[in-house]
Amino acid sequence: MLMDTGAGATSLHLRQALSLVGEVGLRQLGRVNNLVHARGIGGSAAYFVEAAEIVLTHDDGMEEGFHLDLKIVKPARQGSMKRDMQLKIPSLLGKDIMTEFNVVFDWPRGQVYLD
pLDDT digits (tens, 9 = 90+) for 74-88: 888 888 898 999 999
Domain spans, the chain:
2-114
- How many alpha carbons lie under 13 Å from residue 72 in its C-beta half-sphere? 27
> Hey, is 20 helix, strand or coil?
helix
CA distance 55 to 36: 24
- Look up the CATH number of domain 2-114: 2.40.70
Total-model pTM: 0.81
Q: What stretches of 14-71 show up as alpha helix (H) in DSSP?
A: 14-32
Whether the predicted pLDDT of 33 surpasses 70: no
Helix (H) or strand (E) holding 106: strand 103-106
